[in-house]
């Protein structure tokens, strides 16, 4: 990546000039004249600085690798306020994660990890650029000096290492007997009309023979899990959260809003005719249609007052590697460009929490035997003109010698515990099978 090195040198020269000893913000952007020799994820993996965030849009047309944090934000409202305060810097992007319980101020777990990066390497279509942001609430002179030191820590890209981690054991939480009990409790609550739907999740902890390289693992997922958003936030060399999610939380283009209801699942099949038959069954299955329409109705209700002219598209089949989903796209016009408002209205959706949302969340908090943290939250970016977040599904937490996989299933009247268990097995397989040659399901811990 010689051209990136040349741009870094230009940046260093620009930063060496005179800077005021006052607060302020400056941004530098450089176009790359040709496609880099290696991919953005490979470049990001090589960098020794943290945090670092990777993002690829679902259609593959947009991609970003960003690293180093100029400043971080405790919640979406703070991030949005920062963007609005600096609207004269139109390319200002903030990247990161929002937790499932992003509105829980009392949680021990930090509910947001949104940050303004020092360096962004981005692609849209076949156009590449590198962006550097210098910001300080005290002294731009000091920040320019720190940025130059940061630039000198950047290194050339290199190939990602092969995935060599072997699965030693695995543990489900809840295990299948506890899962069956949980489903029974949920169905009793549904029968008592406490709620119509609740989405219950499972965490599977894989103990590995050696730490997993998060970038290499995401690259392997990106290679086989198509029609998905791919994202990763690495906090340290051995701690990261990543995923390949099929579901958009929302895309805001100025005041246009695009969201969707992704609910209702059936297995995929490698044979196209078999897969089509399964998809046709899903389109005509009453239980799955009800589940999807519950989500549609909830989204439309939650957008009342914040958006108008809502259009709901007909149901379609989204075919993924291991499963197929029912999807209805929803389009509307926002009263104002309010990303914090969109997050508050839409996260968590009924597709990952349930209905009514508060009653379902209370059931999850009381009975689900682990804290979801980033799982079923959201990942993406916000900026003045456009913001986009995916629901953090088909996701995993990399923690040194452990890999935690997450998957969930929507429970409604008529749900069967064994079928729902198989559904989460199929969903988790999207990432688990990347280690399949080393995976030994017979070894169960606990």
What's the total number of domains in the chain?
A: 2
Same domain, yes or no, for 263 and 412?
Answer: yes
For residue 443, being part of any structural domain is answered with no
105 pLDDT exceeds 90? no
Same domain, yes or no, for 250 and 182?
Answer: yes
265-304 pLDDT, tens digit each? 999 999 999 999 999 999 999 989 988 998 899 999 999 9
How far is residue 341's CA from residue 387's CA, in Å, rounded to a whole number? 12
Domain range for 378: 167-438
Same domain, yes or no, for 72 and 181?
Answer: no
- The CATH number linked to 410 is 3.60.120.10
Same domain, yes or no, for 259 and 355?
Answer: yes
Burial grade of 370 (CB within 10 A; 0-12, 13-18, 19 or more):
middle
446 pLDDT exceeds 50? no
For residue 37, being part of any structural domain is answered with yes
pLDDT at site 436: 67
Q: Is 336 a catalytic residue?
A: no
Kindly calculate the radius of gyration of the chain based on its CA atoms and give it in whole angstroms: 22
| Active-site residue, from 247, 368, 420, 425 | 247
Same domain, yes or no, for 141 and 171?
Answer: no
116 pLDDT exceeds 80? yes
- Structure pTM? 0.93
Question: H-helix or E-strand containing 183?
Answer: helix 176-191
Same domain, yes or no, for 85 and 174?
Answer: no
Same domain, yes or no, for 138 and 275?
Answer: no
Report whether 423 belongs to an annotated binding site. yes
Q: What is the mean pLDDT of the chain?
A: 92
Last residue of a domain, one of 100, 124, 153: 153
For residue 212, being part of any structural domain is answered with yes
Same domain, yes or no, for 209 and 254?
Answer: yes
Q: Is 247 a catalytic residue?
A: yes
Percentage of the chain beyond pLDDT 90 is 85
Report the 10 Å Cβ neighbour count for 368.
19
Long-range pairs for 1-10 at CB < 8 Å and ≥24 separation? 1/36, 1/37, 1/38, 1/43, 1/156, 1/157, 3/32, 3/33, 3/34, 3/36, 4/32, 4/36, 4/43, 4/121, 4/130, 4/157, 5/156, 7/32, 7/130, 8/151, 8/154
pLDDT at site 321: 87
231-248 pLDDT, tens digit each? 999 999 999 999 999 999
pLDDT at site 429: 86
59-104 pLDDT, tens digit each? 999 999 999 999 999 899 999 999 999 999 989 999 999 999 876 6
| Active-site residue, from 197, 203, 322, 427 | 197
For residue 409, being part of any structural domain is answered with yes
Cis? peptide before 166, omega within 30° of 0:
no
Q: Say if residues 133 and 82 touch (Cβ distance below 8 Å).
A: no
Report whether 333 belongs to an annotated binding site. no
156-182 pLDDT, tens digit each? 999 999 999 989 999 999 999 999 999
For residue 320, being part of any structural domain is answered with yes
For residue 232, being part of any structural domain is answered with yes
pLDDT at site 35: 86
pLDDT at site 328: 97
Same domain, yes or no, for 73 and 217?
Answer: no
pLDDT at site 443: 38
Same domain, yes or no, for 108 and 172?
Answer: no
DSSP state letter for 257: E
Same domain, yes or no, for 185 and 240?
Answer: yes
Task: Give SS3 for 373.
Answer: coil
CA torsion through residues 245, 394, 334, 252, sign: negative
Last residue of a domain, one of 101, 128, 153: 153
What is the longest distance spanned by two Cα atoms in the chain? 70
For residue 201, being part of any structural domain is answered with yes
Buried b (16+ CB within 10 A) or exposed e, 292-318: bbbbbebbbebbeebbeebebeebebb
pLDDT at site 23: 97
Same domain, yes or no, for 182 and 324?
Answer: yes
Last residue of a domain, one of 93, 118, 153: 153
pLDDT at site 33: 85
For residue 444, being part of any structural domain is answered with no
């Amino acid at each position: 990546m010689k051209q990136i090195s040349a741009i870094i040198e230009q940046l260093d020269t620009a930063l060496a000039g005179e800077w005021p000893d006052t607060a302020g913000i400056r941004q530098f952007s450089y176009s790359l004249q040709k496609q880099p020799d290696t991919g953005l994820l490979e470049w990001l993996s090589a960098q020794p600085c943290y945090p670092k965030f990777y993002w690829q849009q679902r259609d593959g047309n947009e991609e970003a690798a960003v690293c180093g944090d100029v400043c971080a934000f405790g919640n979406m409202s703070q991030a949005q306020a920062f963007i609005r305060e600096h609207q004269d810097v139109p390319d200002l992007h903030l990247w990161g994660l929002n937790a499932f319980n992003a509105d829980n101020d009392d949680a021990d777990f930090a509910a947001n990890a949104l940050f303004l990066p020092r360096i962004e390497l981005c692609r849209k279509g076949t156009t590449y650029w590198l962006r550097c942001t210098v910001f300080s609430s005290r002294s731009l002179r000091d920040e320019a000096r720190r940025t130059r030191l940061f630039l000198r820590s950047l290194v050339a890209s290199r190939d990602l290492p092969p995935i060599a981690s072997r699965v030693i054991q695995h543990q489900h939480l809840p295990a299948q007997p506890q899962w069956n009990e949980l489903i029974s409790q949920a169905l009793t609550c549904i029968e008592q009309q406490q709620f119509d739907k609740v989405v219950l999740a499972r965490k599977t902890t894989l103990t590995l023979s050696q730490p997993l390289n998060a970038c290499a693992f995401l690259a392997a997922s990106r290679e086989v899990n198509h029609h998905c958003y791919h994202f990763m936030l690495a906090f340290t060399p051995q701690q990261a959260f990543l995923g390949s999610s099929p579901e958009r939380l929302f895309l805001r283009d100025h005041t246009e809003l695009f969201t969707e209801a992704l609910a209702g699942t059936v297995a995929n099949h490698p044979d196209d005719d078999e897969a089509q038959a399964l998809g046709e069954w899903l389109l005509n299955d009453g239980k799955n249609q009800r589940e999807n329409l519950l989500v549609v109705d909830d989204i439309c209700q939650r957008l009342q007052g914040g958006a108008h002219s809502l259009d709901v598209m007909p149901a379609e089949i989204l075919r993924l590697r291991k499963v197929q989903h029912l999807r209805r796209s929803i389009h509307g016009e926002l009263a104002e460009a309010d990303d914090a408002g969109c997050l508050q209205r839409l996260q968590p959706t009924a597709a990952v929490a349930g209905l009514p949302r508060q009653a379902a969340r209370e059931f999850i908090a009381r009975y689900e035997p682990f804290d979801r943290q980033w799982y079923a939250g959201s990942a993406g970016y916000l900026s003045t003109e456009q913001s986009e977040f995916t629901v953090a599904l088909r996701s995993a937490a990399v923690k040194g010698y452990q890999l935690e996989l997450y998957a969930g299933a929507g429970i409604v009247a008529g749900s069967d515990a064994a079928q729902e268990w198989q559904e989460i097995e199929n969903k988790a397989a999207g990432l688990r099978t990347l280690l399949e040659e080393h995976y030994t399901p017979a070894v169960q811990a606990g």
